[in-house]
Amino acid sequence: MTDPDLAFKKLTRIETCVQELRTLSRPDQIPHDIREERFVEHTLQMAIQAALDVASHIVSDERLGEPRTNRELFDLLESAGFVNPDLAESLRKMAGFRNILVHAYEIVDPSIVQEIVESHLEDLLNFTQAIRSCLSE
């Protein structure tokens, strides 16, 4: 069984990162300010990693399957009813983006970073709400 306290601690980390991005970041400056870009990238990386940690914890504890990739964690959560298909798709994309940030597979496009901050932070909060709801039942 999933340890709610551990999961809730990680979910709070996601919420904190989103709040910091909303209050401290200046998305319009990302293409022109390397410090701004790095702050946003790092904070997004921490939030996405916390989501992956929660997903991994639930998948393991609930014995939902053996994911081969981080993206598959969200497939398994979707199949088990923890998240809806649209949210799972967004989270799979974020897992891929996190891999680019961490492993420097390619140069990160600042416009993509800006787009995530301006339009997709709510997806991370929707994840925290969905998981809190499932674990509180």
Average the pLDDT over 107-136 and give the result.
Answer: 93
Q: 30 — phi, psi (to 5°)? A: -55, -45
Confidence tier at 26 by pLDDT (50, 70, 90): very high
> Rounded to an integer, what is the distance from CA 130 to the centroid of its chain?
13
- Cα torsion 19, 53, 3, 84 to 10°: value is 80
Confidence tier at 106 by pLDDT (50, 70, 90): low
* Confidence (pTM): 0.94
pLDDT of the residue at 109 = 87
Structure tokens at 51: 């989501």
Structure confidence by residue, pLDDT tens digits, 76-96: 999 999 999 999 999 999 999
Indicate the SS3 state at residue 84. coil
Integer Cα distance of 17 and 116 in angstroms: 13
Domains and CATH numbers, the chain: 4-136 (1.20.120.580)
Confidence check: pLDDT of 74 > 90: yes
